[in-house]
Amino acid sequence: MVNLLLIVVVLLLFVTLTLLLRGDRRFSPLEYYARGKEVGFTFTEARAVMEMCRIAGVPDPTAALWSIRELDACIKAFAKKYRAEGKERDRGAIAFMEKLYEFRKRLEFEQPKYRAGITSSRFIRANQRIRVLVEGVGVYSSTVIDSNERYLVVSYPVGARVPPGFQWKGARVSVYFWRQEDAGYVFDTYVLEDLRIRDIPVLQLGHSESLLRTQKRRSLRVRSRMPAYLYLLKRLEGAYEKPERVPGLKCVVQDLSEDGVSVLIGGKARIGLLVKAQFYIGDDQIVVSGTVKGSEYDVEKNQSLLHVEAMTPSPRMRNVIRSHVYNVGPGDPERRAPELDDRPFSV
């Protein structure tokens, strides 16, 4: 009983001290440093974040350890400070910024929209890209056109030539797709109909209530439309982040993350190619090297969208990419998101 009373007294003293320190202000040092230790910051790092929050105009620095918006303001202030001081390549500054970005990513993926998945194909929306696997035949690309209570309407699958006598109607297929800001999914179903709607060939796929949630998103990506150069590599080892001095194949960066990049090229390209994408976002030069893991070919436009899985970037390059993905770079947003010019591109 005595021990219980002692614990209660200590808790009351702690609460009273916290309220006295807070006064009329929103900020409590005790709360702040306790939260900073909880999320992995040292006392010195937490103090640096607190000082930068004040410079960035964040009224309560504790909010930067809970809220993405306040944390972004703090990270942007740090980026401006290091750039002004010429410390962008300083090892200590790079390591600290990397720690901030890792915490930023953790806060991002703690949001409910990344935790809640779907369990039925009825939640798939129009324009969702899918992969259709027919065992023993091949893998095909398609797009969801419409969804109702009975079935999915998808565009006619594009890919390898089907064998003679093959019929889509009645075929058992596996459907793979990546749900934006969520994860990858796969389910098995049957093709109910192979028909034409307004003279456009489509398939009707039966719904499934047994979706398997596969790999979750590991990093945030930014949609873009940036002109770039693409280079074919013989190997990835070596100068995979070293900028090339001569122009490469013209392409367009469609999205970017620390894990990879999607680029639009003219013509076809095979899976497994080793490539390097090089482009500018404002004053920052981005160089990403990796392996083509997927290719979606548009027959009408004679274009392919290549999904490149990147080698793990160096800490400096990863921080540069993250600054633009999270929109906290030191430059103006207008300068960091150039539009595609009118020049043609080809492979």
Contact 87, 93 (CB under 8 A): yes
Q: How confident is the model at residue 336, as a pLDDT?
A: 39
CB 291 within 8 Å of CB 38: no
CA dihedral 37, 39, 40, 42 (to 10 degrees): -40
Token reading at 262: 């999607």
- Report domain extents, the chain: 2-113, 121-210, 222-325
Pick the CATH number of 222-325 from 2.40.10.220, 3.10.20.740, 2.40.50.100, 3.20.20.140: 2.40.10.220
226 beta partners: 253
Phi-psi region of 242 (alpha: psi -120 to 50; beta: other; left: phi over 0): beta
Question: 35 in helix, strand or coil?
Answer: helix
* Beta partners for residue 48, in sequence order: none
How many CB atoms within 10 Å of residue 308? 24
How high is the pLDDT of residue 224? 84
Which pair of tokens denotes residue 131? Answer: 């992969």
Predicted local distance difference test score (pLDDT) of residue 161? 83
Tokens of 152: 């999915």
Quote the pLDDT of residue 341.
32
Strand boundaries in the chain, DSSP class E: 129-134, 138-147, 151-155, 158-159, 172-178, 183-197, 200-206, 212-216, 222-232, 249-257, 260-266, 274-281, 284-298, 303-310
pTM above 0.75, yes or no: no
Pairwise CA distance, residues 321 & 327, whole Å: 10
Helices 91-109, 315-325: axis angle to 10 degrees equals 40
Contacts of 274 (CB under 8 A, 6+ apart): 232, 233, 234, 235, 236, 289, 290, 291, 292
Whether 265 contacts 256, CB under 8 Å: no
Q: Tell me which H or E stretch contains 325.
A: helix 315-325
- C-alpha 103/C-alpha 71 separation (Å) is 9
* 206-250: pLDDT as tens digits: 999 988 887 666 788 888 889 999 999 998 887 788 899 999 999
CATH class assigned to 121-210: mainly beta
With a cut of 50, list the residues of the chain below it in pLDDT. Answer: 8, 15, 18-19, 21-24, 332-347
Cβ-based neighbours of 42, under 8 Å, separated by 6 or more: none
Please, how many CA atoms are within 13 Å of residue 100, restricted to the half-sphere of its CB? 30
Using a 10 angstrom Cβ sphere, with 0-12 exposed, 13-18 middle and 19 or more buried, the burial of residue 126 is exposed
Residue 37 to residue 43: CA distance in whole angstroms: 7
Span 64-95, pLDDT tens digits: 999 999 999 999 999 999 999 999 889 999 99
Cα 118 from chain centroid (whole Å):
19
The domains spanning 121-210 and 222-325 adopt the same CATH topology:
no
